[in-house]
Amino acid sequence: MLRSRGESHDKTPPKAVTPPLRVLAADGIDLAAAAAALPGLEVVPAAQAGGDGRARLCLVAPGADADAQAALEAAGLGHLPRVVWNGDPAALVAGMGARLEAALADAGAARRSAALLRREQEALNRRFKALEGLAWALGGPQASLALDWPPGPATATVPEGSATLRQALPVDVSGLAAVDLLLPELTPEEAGEVVVAIEDSEGHLHPLALAATSVERADGWLRFAAETPLPVDPQDGVLLAEGLPEGTIIGLGHPVPDPDFAAHGLEGGDGCTLALRVWKGITGTAGSMAPTAPAVAGLVHERLLPADLPRPALIARPRAARDHVATDFWAKENAVLVHPSTAGPVCARLARVPVAGVQRASAVVHAAHPRSGVLGFAMGFAAPGQATSDNWQQFLGPWTYLAPGSWGEVHAPPQPSAARMGRSCDLLLATCVAGEATNESAWALFRAFRLSRSAPE
């Protein structure tokens, strides 16, 4: 026991259960003398130690170090430090002091590791909590429209020179997934040259990539999406855009009385924001908000309108749904309605669409009511009868989220082999309500379809 015989001023004495430090004495060491010289330590013969894990060092007689080493190694204790013992305890002090300091440093390192692990665990806990919500929603991913500045009557143009467009965002950029900008007159080539990024308050730039499908949609809105929702701490951010050709017309939102939040770097503007939408996802989840349908050569496309297709029928609705869920063909709109529930995604099926060998499928979708919430759309296709109320999710492609009144596209996962589909296929049309909106006026419409198959050889 490390209890001195004299008066102790140790305010943090060792705990009562702490055993004394065990020291081995190799052959040639006077055991009794060593024990007397080292009160408080436990001195035992090395020869009897065996592989004693409690031994901390070994005293060796002068000139007998090599023998002692061999003996220790034979006993599996070759790792023990050896101290040449001449009867003076001072020989031990420096070494033990160094080992004490090292032990303290090791303890510090352990505490550091624990702290790091705690911090990571907290962040993981937060993400898991969010992902729990994702799981509860039966796999319907959660995304939300964090900011919606609809276009106003004014526009602005990009000035001469390499201007950087800046727009401060009054949202927390943590989890930012995509930004939609209104650039109605850009050609696809010009759109591809635009560089958009989010600069956070720490000065880091987070690039956003152009979603090709938004160009194809040709409604003027271009989506620039992050690879994953920004994994940063909650903080302010600024949207930056460069590479816009001189004279580009850019849609503006409403005038703002605070000049900090007006768009800068434009000609005109008149104290307005940009027209834009900011989307946020769950930090840490994979999945870009820029679903793409990679172009494949050699496909024949068949364009179909809902009136040409079988009537829809529900195959899946959330068990907990208490609100209105429905699917229908709206003849006046020539559209298929799949009315979602706030409790989770809803899926309708157009059974046995008479197109053979379908390998790809896309649909034009429309969140038709101006006062709905943000609506999510997805689609898939399967061999007739293959998709059921239990397995329909696995056939769906990525979800697309639309603000009220806006249009978009959804794409089903491609089917590599034409033979699998046979002479017809079932189309699966799924919708959900994003975020915490109600499903009131959730007119989720599928307006047109494109089914693609291999060209005949």
Partner 1 sequence: MTQPRVVAVIPVMGHPVLLDDAIASAAALLDEGTLAGIVAVDDGCRFDETRAALAAWAALLGPDRMAVLHQPNRGLSAARNAGIAAAMAGAPDAIFLLDADNRLARGAGRAFAALLEAHPEADWFYPAFDFFGQDAHYATDQVPSPLMHMLVNHSEAGSLIRARVFAGGVRFDETLREGYEDWDFFLSAQRVGFSGRPAGRPLLEYRKRPSSMLAGSHDLDAQLRRQIARKHRWLFSAQSALTREHEAFPRFAFVGLGEVALGTDPSQLREIGADAFEAMVLRHAAAPLRHHAPAMTVLGATGLTDRLREAGLLHGLLWAVERRLLAAPELAAVAVRCEGAGEQVGLGQAEGWDGGGTADLLVLPLATLIAAARGGDGALREALNAGDPSGDATLRALAAEGGAERLTLTLPGGGGGEDDARPGAGALLSALARSRFRSALDTAWDWRAPGGAWPRTRAHDAPRLTASGGPVLPLLRGAGGGLDIAFTVSIFDQGGVEKVARAVAREFAVEGHRCHLVVTGGRPARLEHGARPPEFATISFLSDPSAADWAGAEYLGTAETSWGNPEERAALEGLLRPMDVVVNAHSPATHKVAGALRRGGTLMVDHQHVLEVSDYGRAYGPPILTLAYEHAYDAVATCSQGMADWLAAHGVPAEKLIPVVNAPGYPMTGAEVADALALRRDPGAGAPLSVLYLGRLDEQKGIDRVAAIFSRLSEAGRGMALTLAGRAVVNADRPIGPLSPETRLPGPLSTPAALTAAFTAADILVLPSRYEGLPLVVLEAQRLGCVPVVTDVGAVAEAVRGGETGILVPEEGCVDSMVAAILRLDSDRGALAALSRDAAARARDWTVATSGLRAWIAEKAHNRR
Of positions 122, 216, 219, 308, contacts partner 1 by CB under 8 A:
122
Of positions 45, 108, 247, 405, contacts partner 1 by CB under 8 A:
108
Under rule CB under 8 A, residue 136 binds partner 1: no
Q: How far is the CB of 248 from partner 1 (least distance, A)?
A: 24
Q: Would you say 202 or 219 has its CB closer to partner 1?
A: 202
Q: Is 119 exposed, middle or buried (0-12, 13-18, 19+ CB in 10 A)?
A: exposed
Q: How far is the CB of 254 from partner 1 (least distance, A)?
A: 4
Q: How far is the CB of 375 from partner 1 (least distance, A)?
A: 20
Of positions 149, 221, 395, 443, contacts partner 1 by CB under 8 A:
149
Piece of the chain touching partner 1 by CB under 8 A; list 42-50, 84-92, 107-115, 372-380: 107-115
Q: How far is the CB of 199 from partner 1 (least distance, A)?
A: 11
Q: Which two tokens stand for residue 49?
A: 């130690």
Q: How far apart are the C-alpha atoms of 141 and 209, rounded to whole Å?
A: 21
Under rule CB under 8 A, residue 115 binds partner 1: yes
Q: Which two tokens stand for residue 176?
A: 């930012």
Piece of the chain touching partner 1 by CB under 8 A; list 44-52, 146-154, 183-191, 399-407: 146-154
Among 160, 277, 216, smallest CA distance to 411 is for 216
| Phi, psi torsion values for 34, nearest 5 degrees | -65, -45
Q: Would you say 21 or 346 has its CB closer to partner 1?
A: 21
Q: How far is the CB of 48 from partner 1 (least distance, A)?
A: 34
Binding mask 9-28 for partner 1 (x = CB under 8 A): --xx----------------
Q: How far is the CB of 376 from partner 1 (least distance, A)?
A: 23
Under rule CB under 8 A, residue 121 binds partner 1: no
Of positions 54, 126, 324, 423, contacts partner 1 by CB under 8 A:
126
Under rule CB under 8 A, residue 132 binds partner 1: no
Q: Which two tokens stand for residue 112?
A: 């550091």
- Residue 36 to residues 31, 32, 54, 81, 231: CA-CA distances in angstroms? 9, 6, 20, 21, 63
Contact between 327 and 419 under an 8 Å Cβ cutoff? The reply is no
Give every CB contact of residue 375 below 8 A, 6+ residues apart in sequence. Answer: 340, 367, 401, 402, 404, 431, 432, 433, 434, 442, 444
Piece of the chain touching partner 1 by CB under 8 A; list 164-172, 305-313, 396-404, 413-421: 164-172
Q: How far apart are the C-alpha atoms of 207 and 109, rounded to whole Å?
A: 37
Q: Would you say 105 or 313 has its CB closer to partner 1?
A: 105
Of positions 109, 218, 296, 418, contacts partner 1 by CB under 8 A:
109
Under rule CB under 8 A, residue 170 binds partner 1: yes
Window 219 to 278, contacts with partner 1 (CB under 8 A): 233-236, 253-258, 261
Window 269 to 328, contacts with partner 1 (CB under 8 A): none
Q: Would you say 101 or 308 has its CB closer to partner 1?
A: 101
Q: How far is the CB of 231 from partner 1 (least distance, A)?
A: 11
Q: How far is the CB of 22 from partner 1 (least distance, A)?
A: 22
Of positions 203, 294, 416, 456, contacts partner 1 by CB under 8 A:
203
Q: Count residues contacting partner 1 (CB under 8 A)?
A: 39
Q: Would you say 259 or 456 has its CB closer to partner 1?
A: 259
Max CA separation in the chain (angstroms): 107
Cα four-point dihedral sign 92, 94, 99, 100: positive
Q: How far apart are the C-alpha atoms of 330 and 100, rounded to whole Å?
A: 81
Under rule CB under 8 A, residue 201 binds partner 1: yes
Of positions 45, 78, 112, 405, contacts partner 1 by CB under 8 A:
112
Under rule CB under 8 A, residue 107 binds partner 1: yes
Interface residues with partner 1 (CB under 8 A)? 11-12, 101-102, 104-105, 107-112, 114-116, 118-119, 122, 126, 147, 149, 152, 170-172, 201-203, 233-236, 253-258, 261
